[in-house]
Amino acid sequence: MTEILVGSYLFQRLKQLGVNSVFGVPGDYELMLLDLVPEAGLTWRGNPNELNAGYAADGYARVNGVGAVVTTFGPGELSNMCPIAGSYTEFVPVVHIVGYPTEAAQHGKNIMHHSLGEVGDGKFNVYHEMSKHITCASAVLHDAKTAASEIDKLLNAMLLNSQPVYLGLPTDIAMQKTPAINLKFPLTTELVPNKPELQSFVVEKIREMMGKAENPIILVDGSMYFYAFFMSPVLITLTNADTARNRLLKETKALIATTGFPYFATAMSKGFIPENLPTFGGVYGGAGTLPEAKKVVESSDCTLWLGSYPARPIFGVSNSIYSGEFTEKINENTTVDFQRFFVKVGGVRFDVKMKYVLDALVEDLKKKPLSYKTKSSMGSYLQDGDFVITETGTSAFGIPGSSLQHISDIQMFNQTIFGSIGFASGAAVGAFVAGKEAGTVKRNILITGEGSLQLTVQAFSDLLRHEVHPTVFVLNNGGYTVERLIHGMEASYNTVPVWDYGKLFRAFGPDFKTRQYTVKTPDELDALFADEEFKSSSCAQIVELFLGKHDAPLAMKLTTAAIEEFNKRSRMKRGKCR
Amino acid sequence: MTEILVGSYLFQRLKQLGVNSVFGVPGDYELMLLDLVPEAGLTWRGNPNELNAGYAADGYARVNGVGAVVTTFGPGELSNMCPIAGSYTEFVPVVHIVGYPTEAAQHGKNIMHHSLGEVGDGKFNVYHEMSKHITCASAVLHDAKTAASEIDKLLNAMLLNSQPVYLGLPTDIAMQKTPAINLKFPLTTELVPNKPELQSFVVEKIREMMGKAENPIILVDGSMYFYAFFMSPVLITLTNADTARNRLLKETKALIATTGFPYFATAMSKGFIPENLPTFGGVYGGAGTLPEAKKVVESSDCTLWLGSYPARPIFGVSNSIYSGEFTEKINENTTVDFQRFFVKVGGVRFDVKMKYVLDALVEDLKKKPLSYKTKSSMGSYLQDGDFVITETGTSAFGIPGSSLQHISDIQMFNQTIFGSIGFASGAAVGAFVAGKEAGTVKRNILITGEGSLQLTVQAFSDLLRHEVHPTVFVLNNGGYTVERLIHGMEASYNTVPVWDYGKLFRAFGPDFKTRQYTVKTPDELDALFADEEFKSSSCAQIVELFLGKHDAPLAMKLTTAAIEEFNKRSRMKRGKCR
């Protein structure tokens, strides 16, 4: 029987899942493994540290469908725990591959470097135990003969749950042979269909609620996007950004078109659902919603809520649909809650999968049309083909309020639930690389705040060397603005040190062409947005937007556009290409 | 009974232990707590990210005795796990204070942001559970009335074990009242004395071995330094760098003086034990030792090994004294292994503490002197008053071979066992701040490699704004040299992106005076070391030392001086103060 190195088997499997780039930081327990990356036709994209690497893999997975990050035993993997916990929370499928000491070293209970150094007990299982809390499945390989099936089991778990998995790969096992035959059998990328009788019953219940409704709406939420990827049977053959864009969009668009109901986005789904249909109602986010959208959503007597996160947080105020403590005032009795593995109709839960229920519902609607009559409802810089990544905090909260009605083809995401600052810059590396590989993205735009940027500023280095020509907006208001709004408006701990961002940008990639701009007034910003050279994004660009210390996009009080907010302010210095 | 806020109680206790600075990154669950930092007379020193913050607290603790770092629930604390695991492995006492959601939020099982977002179960215990693996004690406070005693219990555990502890502090509990009376009773900073009969027996056994020896030696190892601090009864009154310097040094110096035995340092203890006595024999490190020192140590028939780490790693090769697989060829039968909580004489372990045994042994030697006759044995830039921090990897492995015989007063450390690259730059922030507070340090010197620096380069920002005037040497050989030597000499994954380090230094602190230098030849380095302005270290300085791609200090093959190594190479560009 043909055999293959365990490490090669892993990378071949990832390649089958559409992975083209692998992120990480080289370490002594994984060096030989890295030799196998290019052999499998993948590109190694090392990062300055693991925090950046983990975010890059997350960003890549959100675009490409699956991401992979390699770290080394101990310090390396520990520094990747924050990114992995974020992927876990937000349902982003990432393989965390950890280079382990050899089997002999582990069984000998020796004190290896990077181990916790306990006498007589190397405690080689400690980091694995820690990782179990933040992954849906995990394994450390101990036997090359069963390695192929162990790897498949892990990857299938990742695909099923759309969450990260942890794979410990000892240096010796990685270079041993395992049967290659499994590679001929594809991984499981389709969910088991629903039971027909139960599905029919649920569709009937939904139709009942829809039939009685006078103000029905569709709320397209963000988890959709993550949950949905698994259901795409075309995943394996599609290796470009279309994969991400096509997840449950087809089903969602069909529902919107067939019902004619007004539809709304949320902060999590913003940018992934087109807003150019006449029935688009705006972005809903509880207390932060514009009054007209808020009124329509909260007075609805039939809410089809697709892929909601069980509860979305707004500044520490929990807003669970179950507990009633939400600022989102949506009546559970008149809501259909569509989830990956279940659908709740008026609070009653059924064990059916969203995707198949949506298909069946649309079919049913086509056969027996609704009598509903369509009603109607409600950014200069953003364009078709843009890929926009925004930071948790100031920059993310500003974007949902910007009108995207002129755009039909834009991608956008942020890390809404886990909310780890520094995520955007790290994730942008992976996302922009994935977009570049797919060839469908015209401009890469990163919007972050200076406080967040300081955690993962090394990402500049990767953005430059992978030549993704990002346009980076740094909102500089001299501190942690979100924290200020919560507590400590004048406290020194909410101040961050003064950096020269333009100089940093150049210093992190002295060999690459870059442009830098500083903007201090709305006129300057208008001039910049009118500048053809700037708009073309033909090289990496950084724009430092100076805001007053206490400024924040109105969105944090009542959702509104960050970019429009800058327009209310004042002077732009023009950058030069170097 | 007088009461005090729980948060204030904590900071008062830290103040009593000599802590003056608290490191961390502000987050929404800890903001009110941070208001209490200055109220307790402590200085808040926020860092750009948690990786840097955790390393800074570790560096501070190595100098000051105890360190403290504050992070926020979830992402913040996860990003601090690598530094805390390092402190755990290397016996550095650090309090990791984590700002938690309110009690109500936790008990309500709501999905808070930064939680893992599981439906109906906030899983608020997950991060705490993960941290238990890398701390010697941990607690999340739930009741203000018992908070004072919970805090004391934790801090006492930290002091006893000389390892990190984890304290989860919900935002509401931190601001509630707890009895203040406990503050009048000092924490436990002295070990319980040994049983007199057992101690006398052990001393007698040691004297027996010493009496028969023809080539006895003393090997002063690094764990001493960490293990030892607890035993200093003067800890609470001493709040400067002398605390660290005086740990078991008094006892060790007494043993060296009383016996007259040749004494040796190791990579871990280098810099903490004076080398200016005529009996100093050099630095011992197994296969990496200079031949003359190696011969003396390995042929010894009585090795008094003080504070050895149970086994020290050399490039992944375990070298346990117990397993016999060490490259350090020391005969256990003729070794006295002095440890914090036990002493092994010729392989037999006794339940007695090193400190008291050393005291008793020296007393005994004074009463009944040995007949031993003293034999004898074996850096231009380093001076008295220098504080030198070196990175794991290239830079650390070069230093132990440099002669420090002209220096009696130098401090130096690195993270030898856990070996997490990026540590040095992060830890330098804490260590240099502690040194500045103590007022005893003349020059702060950080030696790192460019690959390591890239993980925590944000530390530049803190080094500049805390005005510790560091002189930073960046050994630039265009990649991960240690990894290259292990595997992948020409592999692209061992290449790091090109950065302009001088420009970065200025960009991270545009408001501060800095000097920058590049050195490419030995003549340039000689000229730099002769330059009075440079030697004075009157402002922050960065020196980029260009080495060939495959250069590494000989120490990695056979211990030798990194600095001398640069001397074999070629051109220096002079920097200017801006």
**Can you tell me the distance from the alpha carbon of B282 to that of B126, in angstroms, rounded to the nearest whole number?**
47
pLDDT digits (tens, 9 = 90+) for B43-78: 999 998 999 999 999 888 887 889 999 999 999 999
List A residues 321-380 in contact with B (Cβ-Cβ < 8 A): 322-323, 325
Q: What does the pLDDT read at residue B72?
A: 93
Q: Which residues of A touch B48 (CB under 8 A)?
A: 454-455, 457, 496-497
**Can you tell me the distance from the alpha carbon of A560 to that of A285, in angstroms, rounded to the nearest whole number?**
11
Q: What does the pLDDT read at residue A115?
A: 60
| Mean pLDDT for the stretch of residues A407-411 | 64
pLDDT digits (tens, 9 = 90+) for A551-569: 443 333 222 333 333 333 3
Q: What does the pLDDT read at residue A298?
A: 84
pLDDT digits (tens, 9 = 90+) for B319-333: 333 233 344 677 889
Query: In angstroms, how far is CA A493 from the centroid of its own chain?
Result: 29
Q: Which residues of A touch B166 (CB under 8 A)?
A: none
Of residues A37 and B238, more confidently modeled: A37
Of residues B411 and B183, more confidently modeled: B183
Q: Is B104 on the interface with A (CB under 8 A)?
A: no
| Mean pLDDT for the stretch of residues A174-190 | 91
Of residues B561 and B47, more confidently modeled: B47
Token pair 């490409």 in the structure block, residue: A64
For chain B, the helix, strand and coil percentages under 3-state DSSP, each to the nearest 5: 40, 20, 40
Q: What does the pLDDT read at residue B112?
A: 55
CB B68, CB B14: distance < 8 Å: yes
Q: Is A196 on the interface with B (CB under 8 A)?
A: no
Please tell me the distance in Å from A514's CA to the nearest CA on chain B: 14
Domains of chain B: 3-184 (3.40.50.970), 196-367 (3.40.50.1220), 386-573 (3.40.50.970)
Write the burial class of residue A138 (CB in 10 Å: 0-12 exposed, 13-18 middle, 19+ buried): buried
Token pair 């005086």 in the structure block, residue: B246
Q: What does the pLDDT read at residue B45?
A: 92
Q: What does the pLDDT read at residue B117?
A: 53
| Mean pLDDT for the stretch of residues B380-398 | 68
How does DSSP classify residue B47? Answer: -
For residue B273, is pLDDT > 90? Answer: no
pLDDT digits (tens, 9 = 90+) for B567-578: 333 233 333 333
Q: Is A512 on the interface with B (CB under 8 A)?
A: no
Contact B129 A133 (CB under 8 A): yes
Please tell me the distance in Å from B224's CA to the nearest CA on chain A: 16
Q: What does the pLDDT read at residue B392?
A: 64
Confidence of residue A290 (pLDDT cuts 50, 70, 90): low
For residue A79, is pLDDT > 90? Answer: yes
**H helix or E strand, kind and range, residue B158:** helix B144-161
For residue A531, is pLDDT > 70? Answer: yes
Considering only the beta carbons, identify the residue of A85, A320, A454 that sits closest to B110.
Answer: A320
**How high is the mean pLDDT of chain A?**
78
**What's A367-424 look like in SS3?**
HCCCCCCCCCCCCCCCCCCEEEEECCCHHHHHHHHCCCCCCCCCEEECCCCCCCCCHH
CB B480, CB B496: distance < 8 Å: yes
Name the residue among B278, B162, B51, B94 with its Cα closest to residue A457.
Answer: B51
pLDDT digits (tens, 9 = 90+) for A502-522: 888 999 999 999 999 988 877
How does DSSP classify residue A320? Answer: B
Looking at A219-223, B420-424, B454-458, which range is the least confident one? A219-223
Share of chain B above pLDDT 90, in %: 37
Of residues A373 and B34, more confidently modeled: B34
Other CB atoms within 10 A of residue A385 CB: 14
Share of chain B above pLDDT 70, in %: 73
Q: Is A397 on the interface with B (CB under 8 A)?
A: no
For residue B443, is pLDDT > 60? Answer: yes
Q: Is B291 on the interface with A (CB under 8 A)?
A: no
Q: What does the pLDDT read at residue A1?
A: 66
| Mean pLDDT for the stretch of residues B259-276 | 75
Test the B interface: residue of A78, A87, A327, A484 with most B CBs within 10 Å: A78
CB A540, CB A469: distance < 8 Å: yes
Give the CA count within 13 Å in the CB-facing half-sphere of A109.
Answer: 9
For residue A542, is pLDDT > 90? Answer: yes
How does DSSP classify residue B374? Answer: P
Is pTM beyond 0.80 here?
no
Share of chain A above pLDDT 90, in %: 37
pLDDT digits (tens, 9 = 90+) for A220-246: 876 544 443 443 332 322 323 333 334
CA distances from B328 to B103, B169, B301 (A): 52, 45, 15
Q: What does the pLDDT read at residue B265?
A: 81
- State which of A131-140, A318-327, B389-398, B408-417 shows the largest mean pLDDT: A131-140
Confidence of residue A475 (pLDDT cuts 50, 70, 90): confident
Residues annotated within a binding site of A for Mg(2+): 477, 479
Write the burial class of residue A320 (CB in 10 Å: 0-12 exposed, 13-18 middle, 19+ buried): buried
Find the closest chain B residue to A453 by CA distance.
B48
For residue B300, give every residue at least 6 positions away whose Cβ sits within 8 Å of its Cβ, in sequence order, or none. B213, B215, B216, B217, B330, B334
Q: Is A254 on the interface with B (CB under 8 A)?
A: no
Q: Is B28 on the interface with A (CB under 8 A)?
A: yes
Confidence of residue A573 (pLDDT cuts 50, 70, 90): very low
| Mean pLDDT for the stretch of residues A412-423 | 76
Contact B88 A464 (CB under 8 A): no
Considering only the beta carbons, identify the residue of B27, B79, B498 that sits closest to A51.
Answer: B79
Q: What does the pLDDT read at residue A489?
A: 64
Confidence of residue A217 (pLDDT cuts 50, 70, 90): very high
Of residues B98 and B246, more confidently modeled: B98
CB A190, CB A233: distance < 8 Å: yes
pLDDT digits (tens, 9 = 90+) for A83-117: 999 888 878 889 999 999 888 777 664 555 566 65
Q: Is B395 on the interface with A (CB under 8 A)?
A: no
| Mean pLDDT for the stretch of residues B282-308 | 77
| Mean pLDDT for the stretch of residues B208-235 | 65
Type of residue at A552: A
3-state secondary structure of A303: strand
pLDDT digits (tens, 9 = 90+) for A488-503: 666 777 677 788 888 8
How does DSSP classify residue B409? Answer: S
Find the closest chain A residue to B325 by CA distance.
A110
Q: What does the pLDDT read at residue B61?
A: 87
**Can you tell me the distance from the alpha carbon of A71 to that of A56, in angstroms, rounded to the nearest whole number?**
13
CB A336, CB A206: distance < 8 Å: yes
Q: Is B479 annotated as a binding residue?
A: yes
Q: Is A35 on the interface with B (CB under 8 A)?
A: yes
**How high is the mean pLDDT of chain B?**
78
Of residues A277 and A134, more confidently modeled: A134
CA distances from A37 to A86, B417, B455, B525 (A): 25, 30, 23, 40
Confidence of residue B30 (pLDDT cuts 50, 70, 90): confident
| Mean pLDDT for the stretch of residues B132-156 | 95
Other CB atoms within 10 A of residue A196 CB: 10
| Mean pLDDT for the stretch of residues A292-312 | 77
Q: Is A491 on the interface with B (CB under 8 A)?
A: yes
Q: What does the pLDDT read at residue B228?
A: 38
Please tell me the distance in Å from B58's CA to the nearest CA on chain A: 15
For residue A337, is pLDDT > 60? Answer: yes
Please tell me the distance in Å from A260's CA to the nearest CA on chain B: 31
Q: Is B567 annotated as a binding residue?
A: no
